[in-house]
């Protein structure tokens, strides 16, 4: 149970993020998430005992150095219920994006060799003209395409999939642990039933 002061501070932060437009969040002064949570009036006990363990699994870092702007955007998505696991797996997301494109504009298996002032040069020698280029790839490839890019240190995590005979919690629940090396766990099929085979009859 949260102390009343922390409950009020968390409610105010959550309400603000729920209604604030994305453009306003992006314009806010940036600072580390840890500082933003403290400035919102949350106690160290609640930050360290509840929010840090939870957010460590979201941001893959436990110092809460992640941009507060990014935190507020993620928190807003959580509050508004717009985060989910696609029923057909994460591969369904790019497939759905591709379905909305006109025929003939999507090229697969054709690496980009260079970003130019007029578009991109492909590894097979072809050129694709463009007014703007979005580079959405891994850090090493992005750095090769954008020589002035500063590549941040990577953060890694290992995901273990497991099966149990019974669920430790009712419904879709994410459990965190502030004392061990496991960031969180959940019964994935309680969150997204299509992620597990049907139960035997």
In the chain, domain spans: 4-79, 107-151, 157-201
pLDDT of residue 193: 87
The pLDDT value given to residue 201:
73
Residue 6's pLDDT band (boundaries 50, 70, 90)? very high
CA separation for the pair 174, 187 (Å, rounded): 8
Compute the distance between CA of residue 122 and CA of residue 113 in angstroms, rounded to an integer: 5
pLDDT tens per residue, range 168-177: 888 888 888 7
Q: Which residues of 57-80 are buried (b: 16+ CB within 10 A; e: fewer)?
A: bbbeeeebebebbebbbbbbeebe
What confidence tier does 114 reach under pLDDT thresholds 50, 70, 90? very high
d(CA 7, CA 4) in angstroms, rounded, equals: 5
Contact residues for 49 (Cβ-Cβ < 8 A; gap 6+): 178
More confident residue, 34 or 196: 34
pLDDT score recorded for residue 47? 96
Q: What does pLDDT average to over the chain?
A: 91
pTM of the model: 0.74
Tell me the mean pLDDT in the region 181-196.
86
Q: What is the mean pLDDT of residues 123-139?
A: 93
- How does strand 127-129 pair with strand 175-176? unpaired
Q: Is the pLDDT of residue 142 over 90?
A: yes
Q: What was the pLDDT predicted at 91?
A: 92
pLDDT score recorded for residue 99: 94
Kindly tell me if the per-residue pLDDT of 199 is higher than 80.
Answer: no
pLDDT of residue 165: 80
Helices (H), the chain: 4-19, 22-27, 33-39, 44-46, 52-59, 68-79, 92-99, 139-145, 188-191
The 10s digit of each residue's pLDDT in 43-94 is 999 999 999 999 998 999 989 999 999 999 999 999 998 778 898 989 999 9
3 state SS of 32: strand
Mean pLDDT of 12-39: 96
């Amino acid at each position: 149970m949260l102390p009343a002061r922390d409950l009020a501070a968390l409610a105010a932060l959550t309400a603000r993020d729920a209604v604030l437009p994305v453009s306003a969040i992006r314009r806010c002064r940036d600072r580390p998430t840890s500082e933003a949570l403290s400035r919102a009036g949350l106690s160290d006990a609640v930050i360290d005992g509840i929010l840090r363990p939870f957010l460590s699994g979201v941001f893959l870092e436990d110092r809460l150095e992640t941009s507060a702007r990014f935190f507020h955007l993620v928190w807003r998505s959580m509050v508004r219920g717009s985060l989910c696991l696609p029923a057909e797996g994460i591969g369904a997301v790019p497939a759905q994006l591709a379905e909305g494109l006109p025929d003939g504009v999507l090229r697969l298996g054709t690496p980009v060799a260079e970003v130019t002032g007029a578009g991109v040069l492909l590894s097979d020698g072809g050129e694709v003209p463009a007014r703007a280029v979005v580079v959405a790839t891994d850090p090493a490839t992005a750095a090769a395409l954008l020589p002035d890019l500063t590549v941040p240190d990577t953060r890694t995590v290992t995901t273990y999939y497991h099966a149990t005979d019974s669920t430790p919690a009712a419904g879709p629940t994410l459990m965190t642990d502030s004392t061990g090396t496991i960031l969180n766990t959940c019964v994935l099929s309680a969150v997204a039933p299509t992620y597990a085979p049907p139960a035997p009859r």
